[in-house]
């Protein structure tokens, strides 16, 4: 259940952000509303490593938040949201679900992806690490 707990810790932290933003979660139906911004969340896991002998597992990866904002209203609102996410998931932050702690290992990165269909898109990548025994 480690990847479930890691995902839950990260998703709970994102969901607690204020102001709230409509969210398209992984494998959950979502219909975007025209003219309304939303964020799409994907949690991508890397290979698990075993840094010591025994049963310790090191899980790494990143949570990618794709911000999707209406076109032709400028980029500052989307960039402001990206900065808010960066501050909520700053380097060395820790989030917990059950007995699993998830640490943010680097400052989140922000990349402008540009126009996709009827949206202006910015990607925020949040690198994480968690040790499971």
pLDDT beyond 70 at 9: yes
pLDDT beyond 90 at 56: no
Percentage with pLDDT > 90 across the chain: 80
pTM of the model: 0.92
* Distance (Å, whole) CA 76 – CA 87: 16
pLDDT beyond 90 at 133: no
Nearest to 69 by CA among 132, 128, 21: 21
Q: Dump pLDDT digits (tens) for 67-120.
A: 999 999 889 999 999 999 999 999 999 999 999 999 999 999 999 988 998 999
Question: 11 pLDDT band (50/70/90 cuts)?
Answer: very high
pLDDT of res. 1: 59
* Distance (Å, whole) CA 100 – CA 53: 20
Please report the domains of the chain, with CATH numbers, ordered by start residue.
Answer: 2-132 (3.30.2000.20)
């Amino acid at each position: 259940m480690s990847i479930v707990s890691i995902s839950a810790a990260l998703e709970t932290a994102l969901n607690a952000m204020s102001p709230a933003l409509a969210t398209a979660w992984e494998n959950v139906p979502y219909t975007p509303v025209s003219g309304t911004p939303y964020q799409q969340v994907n949690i991508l896991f890397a290979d698990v490593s075993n840094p010591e002998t025994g049963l310790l597992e090191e899980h790494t990866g990143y949570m990618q938040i794709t911000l999707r904002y209406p076109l032709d209203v400028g980029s500052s609102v989307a960039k402001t949201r990206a900065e808010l996410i960066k501050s909520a998931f700053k380097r060395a932050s820790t989030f917990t679900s059950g007995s699993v702690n998830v640490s943010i290992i680097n400052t989140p990165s922000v990349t402008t992806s540009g126009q996709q269909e009827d949206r202006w898109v910015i990607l925020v990548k949040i690198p994480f690490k968690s040790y499971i025994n």
